[in-house]
């Protein structure tokens, strides 16, 4: 089990929601998402961590949106943390980004494509922050032990591991629910990313998606037993500037969480 600003993740505690828009597009959208999701999670008594990338370094096309500017995006995340009293998760892509992101975020996320980057994992570990390592689409779950050991080498054992699908043929991902159990054997909480798991990577000049499968994947993962659920949520996904095809509409979040909470309570009651 690890703890982030009083929120306990793992150790048979109720699942934690990690959610927000894919990237900081504007203060208006970021604040709208944070306020609405906090209202829903408070009502349902679900611990909540706000998630949004302050920049996107890995994009399909040279023309894809990468952010509004590092300084402005990090300032918005800092304001959300203060105004809504929420822990913050954001991505880091190279060693030089870690210090700046760590000054704002409580959880530093290692993107799936970078889950083997030794120097990045070590630098994130040295920050002392919680490090969420997303399992690479190209890795088997047991291979994540190497990423874990790199962060552990810094003395930091505040680690999360996230399942987000595995490359399967062309432009598709598949989720092997055994991954959740296998990665739990490393002794750290496991997160299910139900939105990136429905992506169709590089389908055209941008990644496509099949959001119709977000709900069944989230339900299945909760039935297996997850410590946290990761969802990219947007007020109007078709207009999102990143991952428009795979984000969950904000309007559908509450009903999904009601179902996941029931499943989680049942599984953890055994």
pLDDT band at 59 (very low <50, low <70, confident <90, very high): low
The confidence score (pLDDT) of residue 63 equals: 60
Q: Residue 77 in contact with residue 104, Cβ under 8 Å? A: yes
Q: Is the pLDDT of residue 207 over 90?
A: no
Rounded CA separation 18/160 (Å): 12
- Burial (CB count within 10 angstroms: exposed 0-12, middle 13-18, buried 19+), residue 119: exposed
158-199 pLDDT per residue, tens: 999 999 999 987 788 999 999 999 999 999 999 999 999 998
The confidence score (pLDDT) of residue 172 equals: 86
Rounded CA separation 151/203 (Å): 33
Q: Is the pLDDT of residue 13 over 90?
A: yes
121-147 pLDDT per residue, tens: 999 999 999 999 999 999 999 999 999
The confidence score (pLDDT) of residue 67 equals: 81
The confidence score (pLDDT) of residue 242 equals: 87
CATH topology of domain 2-269: TIM Barrel (3.20.20)
74-129 pLDDT per residue, tens: 999 999 999 999 999 999 999 999 999 999 999 999 999 999 999 999 999 999 99
Closest CA to 161 of 141, 138, 140, 177: 141
Q: Is the pLDDT of residue 205 over 60?
A: no
The confidence score (pLDDT) of residue 249 equals: 97
The confidence score (pLDDT) of residue 8 equals: 98
The confidence score (pLDDT) of residue 185 equals: 98
Q: Is the pLDDT of residue 209 over 90?
A: no
Q: Which two tokens stand for residue 99?
A: 């210090």
pLDDT band at 62 (very low <50, low <70, confident <90, very high): low
Q: Where are the domains of the chain?
A: 2-269
Question: What's the predicted TM-score (pTM) here?
Answer: 0.95
The H-assigned helical ranges of the chain are 27-44, 70-84, 95-102, 118-126, 144-152, 178-184, 214-224, 253-269
The H-assigned helical ranges of 89-197 are 95-102, 118-126, 144-152, 178-184
């Amino acid at each position: 089990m690890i703890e982030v600003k009083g929120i306990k993740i793992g150790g048979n505690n109720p699942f934690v929601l990690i959610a927000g828009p894919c990237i900081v597009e504007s203060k208006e959208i970021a604040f709208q998402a944070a306020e609405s999701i906090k209202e829903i999670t408070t009502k349902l008594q679900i611990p909540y961590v706000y998630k949004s990338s302050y920049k996107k370094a890995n994009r399909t096309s040279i023309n894809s949106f990468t952010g509004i500017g590092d300084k402005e995006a990090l300032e918005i995340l800092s304001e959300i943390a203060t105004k809504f009293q929420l822990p913050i998760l954001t991505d880091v892509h190279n060693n030089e980004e870690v210090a700046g992101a760590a000054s704002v975020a409580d959880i530093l996320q290692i993107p799936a494509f970078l889950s083997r980057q030794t120097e990045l994992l070590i630098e994130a570990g040295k920050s002392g922050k919680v490090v969420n390592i997303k399992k690479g689409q190209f890795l088997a779950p047991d291979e994540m032990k190497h990423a874990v050991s790199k962060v552990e080498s810094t003395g930091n054992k505040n680690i999360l591991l996230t399942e987000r699908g595995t490359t399967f043929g062309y432009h598709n991902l598949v989720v092997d629910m055994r991954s959740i159990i296998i990665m739990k054997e490393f002794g750290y909480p496991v997160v299910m990313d139900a939105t990136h798991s429905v992506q169709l990577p590089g389908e055209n000049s941008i990644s496509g998606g099949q959001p119709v499968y977000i709900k069944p994947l989230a339900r299945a993962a909760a039935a297996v037993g997850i410590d946290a659920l990761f969802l990219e949520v947007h007020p109007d996904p078709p207009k999102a500037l990143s991952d428009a095809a795979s984000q969950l509409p904000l309007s559908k979040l509450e009903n999904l969480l009601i179902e996941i909470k029931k499943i989680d309570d049942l599984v953890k009651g055994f």
